Copies of this chain bind each other. A is one copy, B any other.
Amino acid sequence: MDNQRVRQLLASSPGDARVATRGWVRTHRDTKDIVFIELNDGSCLKNLQIIIDKAGPAGGDQLKRLATGAAVTVEGKLVESPGKNQAVELHADRLTVVGDCPADYPLQKKRHSFEYLREIAHLRPRTNAFGAIARVRNNMSTSIHRFFQDRGFLWIHTPIITGIDAEGAGEMFQVTTMPLDKLAGLQPTTIDYSRDFFGKPAYLAVTGQLQAEVYACALDRAYTFGPTFRAENSNTVRHLAEFWMIEPELAFCDLEANMDLAEDFVRTVISDVLNDCPEDMQLFDQRIQKGLIESLQAVARSPFKRISYTEAIAQLKDSGIEFTYPPEWGAALQTEHEKCLTEQIHNCPVIVYDYPAECKAFYMKQNPDGKTVRAMDVLVPRLGEIIGGSQREDNLEKLESRMQAAGLNPDDYWWYLDLRRYGSVPHSGFGLGFERLIQYVTGMQNIRDVIPFPRTVKHADF
């Protein structure tokens, strides 16, 4: 007899055919004649109720081994349930405990704090909330791949280990095979990178964008979906040292089309998860953030407002609101400004474009005004920036001069510059942090709870 998953059985009609399933005991309850088991196998949030007649063939020794967390296999018939929580329940005539669970099991019935669950990250996917996060994360991953595949983008695996500091930006982790304790015996001047694995200093990549541009400038459209790293000493609920990024890149594409793609992307991924994971999303709406589903539905159906950075600054100044950081042309938008634009001024997602050059990275296309670049940020209510992107500078000389101004050595980027030397095209792309998006969709407060095993300052456990 084939085993069926709980999700399948819950969607089945009662019948005389024997069925089999297996999973872990979430709770069990013992009455005079009957034992009730709530069985979960991760296929959905809901448990399957198992009913065992103590005097029947499944009664006996195995029942004594039942415990929260025990692994069991069951067989029996699916019957209509008199309870109001489910349409069907399984009347078992066979029960086998394949894995016992002693009384010191950390996940007893009572609810645990997310802080505590982080200390047992190897067990937390057995809870309702973290099972739901795993399913939602998986659904969003699948939705993202489908979005780009449907549009002819190729998934590109850009390198994790890199010889360059790609954004001229962040703190990077160094990667080495030189034994640190032996280095310590040497004089400071004697670090000889020819003895290191790559023959030169190597780091963990902070972005795959530059390599994605290589593929977009050859095959028209590509996207990355992979891990990226920041060695920032930021101990906040929004920072991870290791996180997954999505970075599409599209040739023959200007900023306008890039904004279209980003808007379509946000709308599609949010619609998909609302459609595909209604039960898990209900859990987040009820237990994590009230009104979550409604706020996501609003994003999925409202057109995104598009305003230039210059307009945004003017609107913020005109708003009469007192900000901690008064808005000023030339300065980056703060989260308070982003939230004001989306929640108070426009009451919908907002795309801000044409930022001052000094706020943005060297590779963004310069506008004819000599002051701004073709950057865009997608801002959403509740969060602020969720996507950052730009049209890329496709003019060789302009790109070189921006690099030099940023203190980068163009020789290190010879291959990136070649893309502008040989058959250069207008091209654009954007990036988003996957965990930030999951946080936004689930309402989870702490980013460490939306990735299986978070890496942060002083934490690389499991």
The answer to whether A174 has its CB under 8 Å from any CB of chain B is yes
Report B-chain residues with C-beta under 8 Å of the C-beta of A310. none
Contact at B175–A220, with CB atoms within 8 Å? no
Instruction: Provide the A128-170 mask, 1 if CB < 8 A to any CB of B, else 0.
Output: 0011001101100110010001001011111111110000000
Report B-chain residues with C-beta under 8 Å of the C-beta of A122. 214, 415-416, 418-419
Contact at B455–A99, with CB atoms within 8 Å? no
Contact at A458–B199, with CB atoms within 8 Å? yes
The answer to whether A185 has its CB under 8 Å from any CB of chain B is yes
Report B-chain residues with C-beta under 8 Å of the C-beta of A23. 220
Q: Which of B123, B160, B191, B455 contacts A422 (CB 8 A)?
A: B123
Q: Kindly identify, within residues 202 to 257 of chain A, every residue whose CB is under 8 Å from any CB belonging to chain B.
A: 202, 204, 211, 214-215, 218-221, 226-227, 229, 231, 233, 241-242, 244, 251-252
The answer to whether A200 has its CB under 8 Å from any CB of chain B is yes
Report B-chain residues with C-beta under 8 Å of the C-beta of A204. 160, 175
The answer to whether A41 has its CB under 8 Å from any CB of chain B is yes
A22 CA to B220 CA in the complex, in Å? 9
Report B-chain residues with C-beta under 8 Å of the C-beta of A101. 422-423
Contact at A198–B458, with CB atoms within 8 Å? yes
The answer to whether A17 has its CB under 8 Å from any CB of chain B is no
Contact at A181–B173, with CB atoms within 8 Å? no
Contact at B73–A252, with CB atoms within 8 Å? yes
The answer to whether A24 has its CB under 8 Å from any CB of chain B is yes
Contact at B159–A462, with CB atoms within 8 Å? yes
Contact at A69–B242, with CB atoms within 8 Å? no
Report B-chain residues with C-beta under 8 Å of the C-beta of A43. 152, 219-220
The answer to whether A102 has its CB under 8 Å from any CB of chain B is yes
Q: Which of B137, B178, B453 contacts A159 (CB 8 A)?
A: B453
Contact at B242–A159, with CB atoms within 8 Å? yes
Report B-chain residues with C-beta under 8 Å of the C-beta of A292. none
Contact at B460–A422, with CB atoms within 8 Å? no
Q: Looking at A184, A188, A229, which has the most chain B CB atoms within 10 Å of its CB? A: A184
Report B-chain residues with C-beta under 8 Å of the C-beta of A410. none
Contact at A421–B452, with CB atoms within 8 Å? no
A180 CA to B227 CA in the complex, in Å? 24
Contact at B226–A452, with CB atoms within 8 Å? no
Contact at B171–A174, with CB atoms within 8 Å? no
A198 to chain B, nearest CB (A): 4
Report B-chain residues with C-beta under 8 Å of the C-beta of A214. 122, 125, 452, 462
Instruction: Provide the A103-122 mask, 1 if CB < 8 A to any CB of B, else 0.
Output: 00111000000000000111
A238 CA to B131 CA in the complex, in Å? 38
Q: Which of B202, B452, B458, B461 contacts A460 (CB 8 A)?
A: B202
Instruction: From known contacts A184-B190, A453-B211, infer whether A425 and B71 are also in contact, taking CB-CB under 8 Å.
Output: yes
Report B-chain residues with C-beta under 8 Å of the C-beta of A155. 138, 141-142
A286 CA to B417 CA in the complex, in Å? 34
The answer to whether A367 has its CB under 8 Å from any CB of chain B is no
The answer to whether A263 has its CB under 8 Å from any CB of chain B is no
Q: Looking at A22, A149, A215, A462, which has the most chain B CB atoms within 10 Å of its CB? A: A462
Query: Could you list 10 further interchain pairs (A-B, Cβ under 8 angstroms) beyond the known A134-B215, A173-B176?
Result: A99-B425, A101-B422, A106-B422, A125-B219, A134-B156, A134-B219, A157-B244, A183-B183, A198-B458, A200-B460
